[in-house]
Structure 1
Amino acid sequence: MWTNINQVYASRDAQNAWAHLAGTNAWHRILPGSGDGVTNVLLILSAAKANNRQAYVVRDGSGNIVQAYL
């Protein structure tokens, strides 16, 4: 779904990153699995937020973010 990114969050803990999506008005975890994958998705969502652009976000059945692109 195309959506605006309200906020992004990451902590020092391994693969712990989240995004608040305007389309659902909720926080969604970037699905852990690959450290580089979590970082890359977080960077895409951060770039969308910083430039006030929408991102296309794909979520799994549990609501976790599994893919994103601009």
Structure 2
Amino acid sequence: MWTLINQIYATHHSQNAWAILAVDGAWHKVLPNSPDGVTNVLVILAAARANGKQVYVVLDAAKNITQVYL
């Protein structure tokens, strides 16, 4: 689904990143497949948020973010 990103959040813990999607106003966890994958998705989400761009987000059945396209 295409959506804006309202907020992003990450901690120093490995593979812990979250985003609030404008489409539903809920927090969604970036699915931890690999540390680099979580970082790369977080970078895309941050770039979209900083520039007011929409991203295409793919969610799994548990509403975790599995893919993001800018």
TM-score by length of 1: 0.98
Q: Which runs of 4+ in 1 moved over 3 A?
A: none
Task: Measure how far apart 1:68 and its partner are.
Answer: 0.1
The secondary structure found in structure 2 opposite 1:32 is coil
Match of 2:38 in 1: 38
The secondary structure found in structure 1 opposite 2:53 is coil
Amino acid paired to 2:14 = A
Match of 1:63 in 2: 63
Task: Measure how far apart 1:31 and its partner are.
Answer: 0.2
The secondary structure found in structure 1 opposite 2:36 is helix
Q: Does 1:50 align with 2:50?
A: yes
* Structure 2 gap ranges (5+): none
Match of 2:7 in 1: 7
* Structure 1 gap ranges (5+): none
Task: Measure how far apart 1:33 and its partner are.
Answer: 1.6
TM-score by length of 2: 0.98
The CA RMSD over aligned residues, in Å, is 0.4
Amino acid paired to 2:48 = A
Please list the CA deviations of residues 8-36 of structure 1 after superposition, one character each: whole Å capped at 9, or x if unmatched. 00000000000000001100000012000
